[in-house]
Amino acid sequence: MQLTDDIAYLKGVGPSRAKVLASEADIHTLADLLDYLPFRYVDRSVITTVATLREEDTFVVLKGVVANMQTTASGPRRERLTVDFYDGSGTMQLVWFAGTKWVREKLKLGVEYLVMGNPSVFNGQWQISHPEIEPYSYVDEGARHPLMPVYTTTEKMKQNGLGTKSMARLTETLLDNLPSLSENLPADILAHFRLMGRNEALRVIHYPDSREQLDQARTRLKFEELFFLQLDYQYARQQRVTRSEGRIFAHVGDHFNNFYREKIPFPLTGAQKRVIKEMREDMRSGRQMNRLLQGDVGSGKTLVALMSMLLALDNGCQACLMAPTEILATQHYQTFLRMLDGLNIHVELLIGSLKASEKRRIKRQLAEGEIEILIGTHALIENDVVFRDLGLVVIDEQHRFGVEQRSKLWNKSVVPPHILVMTATPIPRTLAMTLYGDLDCSVIDELPPGRHPVRTFHRTEPRRPLLFSFLKKQIDAGRQVYFVYPLVHESEKLDLRDLYAGFDMVTGYFPRPEYQVSIVHGQLTAEEKAFEMDRFKRGITHIMVATTVIEVGVDVPNATVMVIENAERFGLSQLHQLRGRVGRGAEQSYCILMTKDHLSFTSQERIRTMCSTTDGFEIAEADLRLRGPGDIQGLQQSGALDLRVASIVDDEPLVRATRDTVHDLLAADPTLSRYPLLQQHITNSKNKMLWGKIS
């Protein structure tokens, strides 16, 4: 028998069950069956009784007999089967809503059954709906295995004789007949981490003798999974680093030096200096830089980016900065003009709303090399935007740009430009470790001196009058205020209605002409938005009522209060982004989270996290815990989410260990010449990737 053999040939399967296994569980070969891991184990020694069930039980095992099967119809084709179940201590009901005919035929009176499932109370009586149910004899057969595996099975599998018991039997047959499975981890690593061998681990994971043994098998399989994920990422990165050619920015010239000496009115923070040094080293190494720059809002990333662009200019190249929205691009442009004032550097802004003649002029001057720094939105990646010699690309807020869009920029120059990606949405450490194996990371983990962390409070409707009098004091003291409303409805019209209702409420408390209120939302034209933003920026309006269009990058240091309405409807990272709009100046700033009274558990946790910390990394970790990696923006296509045994959230120590192990291994032996097993893996995964691209 070989692992690549068709599952149909395993004793007990045959062609029709093979079809079901393929369609329901994606099991096609023996190897697939071996990889179909139990999601739980039933410990024979912990059979519960009906009399001792508790509300908080989520999974129980009971032993008893069935009686009194009843089918009731709750509508056409909506049958419900209830069966009484006795175990000597009491009675409960087993309920099925689907596949009732088959269950009715299968269950026999007087036979002792083992019933497994999640108990709940319904109409004052204990019940389990869609339990796993097997004749008790299974336990006797399983006597040599105290922990019996439970596999995920669908109704269709059960109806085709592929319930958990049958799956366990198939696996057992497979394991009994399979020759010893070959090891795929190097011997020195196995020894160093005292890992169980692969052959033993795969057998134990299906049929463990004890919890301890099971834990060891799990650890081994998790290690293996994370190790190969790391190997794929880190090997790919090594290839990029050694193969790809990069421009060499060898010297620091007038642009950089003049700016540094004359234009920065404050000393750089230690973190800023460190990051600039890291980038300089990248950019003169002869390799292409591909760096991710993380740092909370206001930590000074933009300044660092600007300085790296000046280095590009000093080495005869052009540089560009791409932002996700026109507002943000325009703001960067204004910041750059202000900061570079008097240095004789030609900066332009390219956005979709420019006049056609302006766009033509910019493109012409860009191709001729007259424009040195170009700032813009997606408009930058269009094919007719041609640079004379593009040396550095800075991308702000990378989650909004896909990998494909990024790679379009690469092709704008013969030797690919250096890439710097900035994000204020910190990526949890464990994720960064796995996902950005192919990017170098820099972190600005220090705020410029003199900043007070934003103070955050949670309030509900009854305290709104107090909130408004607080706002009045702030505004009378010369400060400005944001009100943000979430986009929640399917229809923008409804969202706008909420927003305008909010606007009316705010103008009710803060009447003209004494107070001026701006409103900004996605339905306005770029000009209208810019007009309102500008009025707020210049302090003509005191309050800005807006949707999340202001989420990214709006910079008004005089704004000290951020009121977030319906805050329970925002995700953590969005709340964090919004809060980053205040606390940019010298004054103490505040963030007020307005919510309804009763909150779900996760909403409460989000609000609690926001009130207790301003550290972006802590917030990102909490977000990951609350939502799981699947919902983190921009990570959907990554392999880190397809993990079978390991978990990015719970297995941080193993993520760390495998990352370091792979790192050391590749450093000592870049071609893996001493590790034929790993070379084999690389060859195989290359083929896989190729196939992935073709299909």
Residues that bind Mg ion (CB under 5 A): 302
CB atoms near residue 359 (< 10 Å): 18
- 624 contacts 632 by C-beta, under 8 angstroms: yes
Signed CA dihedral, 351, 355, 360, 362: sign only: negative
| Cβ-based nearer residue to ligand ADP, 149 or 580 | 580
| Cβ-based nearer residue to ligand ADP, 13 or 275 | 275
Q: Which of 154, 149, 176, 180 is nearest to 165 (CA)?
A: 149
| Cβ-based nearer residue to Mg ion, 162 or 323 | 323
Q: Is 68 helix (H, G, I), strand (E, B) or coil?
A: strand
Tokens of 128: 């389990």
CB atoms near residue 502 (< 10 Å): 20
CB of 300 to Mg ion, least distance (A): 8
- Among Mg ion, ligand ADP, none, the one that 266 touches (CB under a kind-dependent 5 to 8 A) is ligand ADP
Single out the segment in contact with ligand ADP by CB under 6 A; choices: 71-79, 290-298, 526-534, 664-672.
290-298
CB of 481 to Mg ion, least distance (A): 21
Binding characters for ligand ADP, 76-115, by CB under 6 A (x = yes): ----------------------------------------
- Among Mg ion, ligand ADP, none, the one that 300 touches (CB under a kind-dependent 5 to 8 A) is ligand ADP
Fill in the amino acid letter for 421: V
CB of 565 to ligand ADP, least distance (A): 24
| Cβ-based nearer residue to ligand ADP, 303 or 564 | 303
| Cβ-based nearer residue to ligand ADP, 389 or 618 | 618
C-alpha pair distances (Å), 601 with each of 58, 166, 604: 18, 39, 5
Tokens of 239: 């290839």
| Cβ-based nearer residue to ligand ADP, 149 or 298 | 298
Q: Give the one residue of 186, 295, 376, 486 binding ligand ADP; rule: CB under 6 A.
A: 295
CB of 269 to ligand ADP, least distance (A): 4
Q: What is the 3-state secondary structure (H, E, C) of 172-240?
A: HHHHHHCCCCCCCCCHHHHHHHCCCCHHHHHHHHHCCCCHHHHHHHHHHHHHHHHHHHHHHHHHHHHHH
Q: Which of 204, 206, 198, 132 is nearest to 163 (CA)?
A: 132
Q: How far apart are CA 133 and CA 474, in angstroms?
A: 66
Q: How far apart are CA 559 and CA 474, in angstroms?
A: 10
What's the full length of the chain, in residues? 695
- Among Mg ion, ligand ADP, none, the one that 303 touches (CB under a kind-dependent 5 to 8 A) is ligand ADP
Single out the segment in contact with ligand ADP by CB under 6 A; choices: 60-68, 105-113, 262-270, 529-537.
262-270
- Cβ neighbours of residue 619 under 8 Å, at least 6 residues apart? 426, 572, 573, 576, 609, 610, 613
Q: How far apart are CA 335 and CA 340, in angstroms?
A: 8
Q: Give the one residue of 117, 163, 298, 376 binding ligand ADP; rule: CB under 6 A.
A: 298
Range 70-85 burial, b when 16+ CB lie within 10 A, else e: eeeeeeeeebbbbbeb
Does the footprint of ligand ADP cover residue 268 (CB under 6 A)?
A: yes
Does the footprint of ligand ADP cover residue 289 (CB under 6 A)?
A: no
Binding characters for ligand ADP, 436-465, by CB under 6 A (x = yes): ------------x-----------------
132-135 and 290-295 beta bridge pairing: unpaired
- Among ligand ADP, Mg ion, none, the one that 269 touches (CB under a kind-dependent 5 to 8 A) is ligand ADP
Does the footprint of ligand ADP cover residue 363 (CB under 6 A)?
A: no
- Among Mg ion, ligand ADP, none, the one that 272 touches (CB under a kind-dependent 5 to 8 A) is ligand ADP
Q: Give the one residue of 219, 272, 589, 614 binding ligand ADP; rule: CB under 6 A.
A: 272
- Among Mg ion, ligand ADP, none, the one that 448 touches (CB under a kind-dependent 5 to 8 A) is ligand ADP
Residue numbers at the binding site for ligand ADP (CB under 6 A): 266, 268-269, 272, 295, 297-303, 424, 448, 584
